[in-house]
Amino acid sequence: MTVTTSPSVTKSTAPGLFGVAAGGALLNFIGIGFLLGGFIPPPGPGAADVTAAYFHHDVDLKRLGVILTIVGGTMFLPFGAAIADRIRHVRGIGPIAAMTEFGAAIVAATLMMTFLTMILVGLLRPDMPDSIYQVLNHLCWLGLIGLWQPGALQAGTTAWAILADPSPTPVFPRWVGWYSLCMAFGSLTGSLIPFFVSGPFAWNGFIGFWVAGAIFFAWYIIMLVQLYLAYRRDRVEAAGVTSDPPTSTFSSNGVTRGVEGAAK
Amino acid sequence: MTQQMTRNVPAAMPRRAPGEPGVWAFILTEMMIFTALFGLIVWNRGHHPEVFAEGQSLLSQPLGLINTVVLIMGSVSVVLAIGATQADRYRNASRWLTVAMVCGVVFVAVKGVEYGLVRHHGAWIHTNVFWMLFFAVTGAHLIHVFVGTAVLGLIRPRTARGLLGARDNDLFVSATCYWHMVDLLWLVLFPLFYLVN
């Protein structure tokens, strides 16, 4: 929906809808992909024959799961762009935080495409020595779960922007900034993954997968909900603009910073 | 009678979390993560009692106790700093924050000595489940002590200037809450690793 308020200024709710759709797709594709691929939890850093057995059963279902997970991972790009589109309006730090956040989202999407391809290679060739499957599996999960830095950077820069926002109608509530900081900080648990091939801190362990995964995906759910709320505010605002165009006010960048009482 | 009493009761003050409310999203999530780690320790203790008993025998209870006292002293200092700000004695508050920061540095130093001692005995994260949990969990807590000390260091100059900024007072109280959380976590870790057998 596009609302024209004057001949020179228009406000669109399409970016908000785009972010919500991308976030929904991200969570659904990765969720379904993980279920079909048998990644809850993922195959651990175990012995070669155990790892090879994973690659030899339900091969087509796992292929489908990996493909869906990669599609979900690709959604890091539009979802990251939608978050960047919001935080760029924060005065001062906004533009550079937005660029950093989106850059981190690009890296996160690239990691998903690159390292999950290792699993696809294993699933494509059933005739390889067991040790090859083991190496492919190690490469994939050390890359995806062990490389926590892009996700932490994405959440950390989002936190910085939110907490630095001086506006009385901030782009996101401040608690989201604090949770984002917690997500960035909690990602440090990923540093333990290269140290263990079993136990709670391994990539399929209680802390390495379940706790870290819960913190990680909770951040995406929170950001999705916040993008939806912001989109809804935009719609209400746009409707208000339609009914009373002369009183609508826009900031210098052409976007109104929320309605009264929003994002408190 | 009841109506009369109701009329005399003053209107309830709105209840509010100390510091900036949003900080509690951070603190509570941190506490949930550590609760998971505590559960992990208890679960493994139940499954490997002899490994835990052997590991515990190498730990220095006096060093653990010193660190407990140091962190409690840090928390008392932080409480005194809060009291000082409420009495508008901001210089005093700043000094108490410095004392708390010194406590943080002493804790890190004692922990370094303790890690050195257990390493001298040949213990490391790969030795067994006790040492894996000991180094991982106390290491995570140590990072929190670093962060807590740094946060107090960040708010200290603003405190000395009188917490003049619009959000300064909330940030000050939030920093002290974080410090108390760090202290509280150690008060659970200390008995779990050093005392319970």
What chain B residue is nearest to A210 in terms of C-alpha separation? B36
Annotate chain A with DSSP letters as a single string: -EEESSSS-EEESHHHHHHHHHHHHHHHHHHHHHHHHT-SSPP-S--HHHHHHHHHSSHHHHHHHHHHHHHHHHTHHHHHHHHHHHHTTSTTTHHHHHHHHHHHHHHHHHHHHHHHHHHHHHHH-TTS-HHHHHHHHHHHHIIIII--HHHHHHHHHHHHHHHT---SS-SS-HHHHHHHHHHHHHGGGGGGGGG-SSSTTSTTSIIIIIIHHHHHHHHHHHHHHHHHHHHHHHHHHHHHHHH-GGG----TTS-----TTTT-
Q: Which of A182, A195, A199 sits opposite B30 (nearest CB)?
A: A182
Chain B residues whose CB is inside 8 A of the A201 CB are 132, 136
In the numeric block, the tokens 């260091």 are attached to B153
B90-106 pLDDT, tens digit each: 999 999 999 999 999 99
In the 8-state DSSP scheme, what is residue B21?
T
Annotate B88-151 with DSSP letters as a single string: T-HHHHHHHHHHHHHHHHHHHHHHHHHHHHHHHTT--TTT-HHHHHHHHHHHHHHHHHHHHHHH
A5-38 pLDDT, tens digit each: 444 445 678 888 999 999 999 999 999 999 999 9
Buried b (16+ CB within 10 A) or exposed e, A215-227: bbeebbebbbebb
B26 interfacial to chain A (CB closer than 8 Å): yes
In the 8-state DSSP scheme, what is residue B181?
H
B17-66 pLDDT, tens digit each: 788 889 999 999 999 999 999 999 999 999 999 999 999 999 999 999 99
Chain B residues whose CB is inside 8 A of the A215 CB are 29, 33
This model's pTM is above 0.95: no
Of A60-69, A133-142, B3-12, B172-181, which range is least confident?
A: B3-12
Averaged pLDDT for residues B122-144: 96
Contacts of B4 (CB under 8 A, 6+ apart): none
B150-161 pLDDT, tens digit each: 999 999 999 999
A91-131 pLDDT, tens digit each: 999 999 999 999 999 999 999 999 999 999 999 998 999 99
**Position A234 confidence tier, pLDDT thresholds 50, 70, 90:** confident
The C-alpha R_g of chain A, in whole angstroms, comes to 21
Domains and CATH numbers, chain B: 62-197 (1.20.120.80)
In the 8-state DSSP scheme, what is residue B80?
H
- The C-alpha atoms of residue B58 and residue A130 are separated, in whole angstroms, by 41
Q: Would you state the pLDDT for residue A256?
A: 44
Q: Would you state the pLDDT for residue B166?
A: 86
A209 interfacial to chain B (CB closer than 8 Å): no
Amino acid identity at B54 = E
A170-224 pLDDT, tens digit each: 999 999 999 999 999 999 989 999 999 999 999 999 999 999 999 999 999 999 9
Of A16-30, A104-118, A241-255, B108-122, which range is least confident?
A: A241-255
Averaged pLDDT for residues B161-189: 95
Q: From the CA of B2, how many Å to the nearest CA of chain A?
A: 38
In the numeric block, the tokens 């009482």 are attached to A261
B31 interfacial to chain A (CB closer than 8 Å): no
